[in-house]
């Protein structure tokens, strides 16, 4: 392993640690903590570093930036506290911009050299992990996502400025793994972390980076996430949990006794807890594709 320090800002002494294992192609970049409040992703990246330290790649190279947004992580919040920008809307960044733009610029330099990018995020403590990909636009993104053993692949909305979106537009296969966990308490889902680590190591075996049997997973592709918003505010009582398969019109829960139904057939990627719902989403559903 070799380690490099990328200096972001000398005044606040912010820097990133890039750890690289192996050499040659393919080159994989794994990033965690682009959103500071998404601790499961950082945890998975750190576990991956441990794993690769013990068993480095036999072919090709893996670079890991476990923590891409250290000051946001220190606050367990999404945005960098020094400029309040969302780093995952700031790519490709600027070398002479505010801290988030410099972070994006430094990460972009590493991303440009990659053949594959796996960006680790969280979909909330009430979410069920999924792979997020531009699978409808880019065949290479679809193929890459299909190599992940996380069973659900969701179509991204494609908002520009995200690391994986900008990379795909440059022709580099890139995905997000959205993992259960995250939030101001720094919650980590150990179960989601195990699932994500197995998916990443499984991909490494399929790509020849690690030895061992390379089973091809068969995840299912879904459309863009749709919020489920009750027609009036009130007390939401869920009737199922994230990961549930839904038929169109199936009840997800009730708000003050009125059923809240899924607008489409698909899978619930998030179902909120019993709580007072103020006309915001109480669940997210990824539609089944025809």
**Six-digit token pair at 111?**
């991303």
Closest C-alpha to 264, from 221, 224, 220: 224
Selected range binding Zn ion among 120-128, 164-172, 216-224, 237-245, rule: CB under 5 A = 120-128
Q: CB–CB of 115/26 below 8 Å?
A: yes
Based on CB atoms, which residue is closest to Zn ion, 5 or 159?
159
The minimum distance between CB 98 and Zn ion, in angstroms, equals 19
Closest C-alpha to 146, from 155, 157, 136, 135: 135
CA dihedral 197, 200, 206, 212 (to 10 degrees): -30
The minimum distance between CB 150 and Zn ion, in angstroms, equals 16
Selected range binding Zn ion among 37-45, 186-194, 256-264, 270-278, rule: CB under 5 A = 37-45
The minimum distance between CB 37 and Zn ion, in angstroms, equals 8
Q: List the beta strands (DSSP E) in the chain.
A: 2-9, 14-23, 27-32, 60-65, 116-124, 130-133, 152-155, 174-180, 220-222, 226-228, 234-238, 245-246, 251-255, 258-261, 266-271, 275-277, 283-287
Selected range binding Zn ion among 91-99, 121-129, 152-160, 236-244, rule: CB under 5 A = 121-129
The minimum distance between CB 86 and Zn ion, in angstroms, equals 9
Selected range binding Zn ion among 34-42, 111-119, 198-206, 223-231, rule: CB under 5 A = 34-42
Residue recorded with tokens 């930036």:
65
Selected range binding Zn ion among 17-25, 38-46, 156-164, 208-216, rule: CB under 5 A = 38-46
Based on CB atoms, which residue is closest to Zn ion, 38 or 110?
38
The minimum distance between CB 178 and Zn ion, in angstroms, equals 7
Selected range binding Zn ion among 4-12, 116-124, 194-202, 231-239, rule: CB under 5 A = 116-124
**By CB neighbour count within 10 A (0-12 exposed, 13-18 middle, 19+ buried), where does 66 fall?**
buried
List the interface residues with Zn ion, window 131-150 (CB under 5 A).
none
Cβ neighbours for 109, distance < 8 A, ≥ 6 positions apart: none
Based on CB atoms, which residue is closest to Zn ion, 19 or 35?
35
Question: Strands 266-271, 245-246: parallel, antiparallel or unpaired by DSSP?
Answer: antiparallel
Q: Is 35 in the site for Zn ion (CB under 5 A)?
A: yes
Interface pattern 242-281 for Zn ion (x via CB under 5 A): ----------------------------------------
The minimum distance between CB 224 and Zn ion, in angstroms, equals 16
**Six-digit token pair at 9?**
């800002």
Based on CB atoms, which residue is closest to Zn ion, 38 or 195?
38
Residue recorded with tokens 């999924």:
130
Based on CB atoms, which residue is closest to Zn ion, 17 or 77?
77
Helix (H, G, I), strand (E, B) or coil at 276: strand
Binding site for Zn ion (CB under 5 A): 35, 38, 121
């Amino acid at each position: 392993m070799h380690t490099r320090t990328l200096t972001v800002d000398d005044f606040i002494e912010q820097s990133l640690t890039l750890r690289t294992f192996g050499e040659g192609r393919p080159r994989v970049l794994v990033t965690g903590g682009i959103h500071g409040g998404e601790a499961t992703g950082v945890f998975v990246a750190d576990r991956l570093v441990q794993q690769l330290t013990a068993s480095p790649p036999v072919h090709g190279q893996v670079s890991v930036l476990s923590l891409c947004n250290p000051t946001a992580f220190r606050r367990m919040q999404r945005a960098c506290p020094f400029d309040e920008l969302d780093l995952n809307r700031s790519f490709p960044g600027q070398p002479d911009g505010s801290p988030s733009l410099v972070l994006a610029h430094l990460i972009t330099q590493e991303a440009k050299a990659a053949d594959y990018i796996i960006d680790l995020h969280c979909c909330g403590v009430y979410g069920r992990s999924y792979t997020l990909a531009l699978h409808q636009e880019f065949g290479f993104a679809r193929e890459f996502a299909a190599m992940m053993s996380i069973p659900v692949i969701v179509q991204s909305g494609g908002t520009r400025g995200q690391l994986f979106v900008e990379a795909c537009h440059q022709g580099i296969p890139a995905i997000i793994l959205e993992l259960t966990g995250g939030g101001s308490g720094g919650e980590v889902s150990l179960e989601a972390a195990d699932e994500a680590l197995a998916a990443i190591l499984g991909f490494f075996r399929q790509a020849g980076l690690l030895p061992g049997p390379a089973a091809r997973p068969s995840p299912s592709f879904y459309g863009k996430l749709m919020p489920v918003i009750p027609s009036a505010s009130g007390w939401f009582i869920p009737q199922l949990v994230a990961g549930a398969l839904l038929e169109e019109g199936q009840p997800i829960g009730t708000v003050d006794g009125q059923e809240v139904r899924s607008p489409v057939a698909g899978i619930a990627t998030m179902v909120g807890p019993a709580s007072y719902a103020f006309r915001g989403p109480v669940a997210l559903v990824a539609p089944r594709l025809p």
